[in-house]
Every structure is written in structure tokens, then in C-alpha cells.
Amino acid sequence: MTFDLFDALEAAEPTVEPLTDGAMVLRGLALPMQHELLTDVRAVIATAPLRHLITPGGLRMSVAMTNCGALGWVSDRCGYRYDAIDPECHLPWPPMPASFRALARQAAACAGFAGFEPDACLINRYLPGAKLSLHQDRDERDFGAPIVSVSLGLPAVFLFGGLRRADKALRVTLRHGDVVVWGGPARLRFHGVLPLADGQHPLLGGARINLTLRTAG
């Protein structure tokens, strides 16, 4: 699957696609900032390289991850948690770029969550076949703040379920520049990503980058 260059580079007015009470997709919201976002992603990765984390059960995650901001999400045999120090280099995570923070604030406000101040951004890189199983974001101290998720690169199928893992999940195709926000009554809904399909994107080649911004501390 290939994508016309203008699909990625031509910024359009974002459209709002409601998912459920407290959750929506803001189609194309990130397009005006795409080049700044990708430049900042590369700068973060140069300082804190991507890595495949290990789950508490000993499984290697198919998605490569890193973090920026005051806190970073990590996983190992001891469990899931946030830490101010990168366990690989034993230094603080890179500061959160202003572009990430500005987009997150804008998206949250559009979804009705004004005053969002993220202190953690998880950067996920998906290659074809990589996926994210259904899960809840429960490692944060306060569930009052929303989650803001930014899609860049290849399209992916986002699963957005209910408050129980067994609840039927919506399948939502996310494209380059789309932003998903969920909070309030939707904050603890299960969500995930189906295995990424093969393809080529004009800016990211055969990859998808996802930024997940949260208030963790």
C-alpha cells in the first residue's frame, strides 16, 4: 500500500469524529505541525533510543518505545510503572518538546478537557506486524486528566473497547495527523492496536509513530 505525497503534506481543517461520551478522533489535527513533530521525535530518539520493553510475564513487546517529559513509562519483570530516570542510560528522560505539549493542550481543549498539562509522553514505533494488545491506562496517579494519542506515518486500526476487556471494541482507522482524546467517563476504557499492515509513507517509510501524552505524576 502506498500513499500520495499530498495526503501527508497537505494540511486540512480537522474534523471531529465522536467515539463515545468523553472520547473522540480529531481528524488531521496534527497535520499543520507534522514536520516540527517529526523533527522533535527524532531528537528525543537520538537522546533516548527506542527499545523493546519486556512485560512482567517475560514477553518482548513488538512495539519499540521511548519517552520524554518529567516521567517515562517503563515495563520489566518488576511490573509497569513511571520513572523519572531512563533505566538504560540512568539519566533523566529528554524534556518534552514544546510542539508535543502545544498539540496535546489543543487537542484536549477541543475535546472538552481544558487545562491539560501532560508530564509524560510515550513514543511508540510500529513496524509491519507490530501490535498493542487491549489494555487500560491505569499506571497514572490521577485519572482526572485525559489521554491524548497522536498518529504519524502509516495508518493503523485502533481498537477502542469498554470498561471490561470482554466488551466489544470499535475498530477505528487512524491516519497520519489524526489525534484521539479520551477522558472523563471514557478514561479507563480498554484500547489497543491491531497488527500494522505493510506499506510506505512519504515521511516515515514503513513505520508508524504514536505519541501518547498523559498526566502521570
- pLDDT tens profile 77-124: 999 999 999 999 999 999 999 999 999 999 999 999 999 999 999 999
Q: Are strands 208-214 and 170-174 parallel, antiparallel or unpaired?
A: unpaired
Q: What is the mean pLDDT of residues 14-19?
A: 94
pLDDT of res. 7: 41
Q: Which CATH class is domain 14-214?
A: mainly beta
CB atoms within 10 A of CB 194: 14
Q: Which of 45, 77, 46, 44 is nearest to 59 (CA)?
A: 77
Give Cα separations from 187 to 53, 86, 112, 208 (angstroms).
24, 27, 13, 24
**Are the C-beta atoms of residues 202 and 106 closer than 8 Å to each other?**
no
- pLDDT tens profile 162-179: 999 999 999 999 999 999
pLDDT of res. 91: 97
pTM of the model: 0.93
What is the band of 12 on the pLDDT scale with cuts at 50, 70, 90? low
- pLDDT tens profile 122-146: 999 999 999 999 999 999 998 999 9
- pLDDT tens profile 27-74: 999 999 999 999 999 999 999 999 999 999 999 999 999 999 999 999
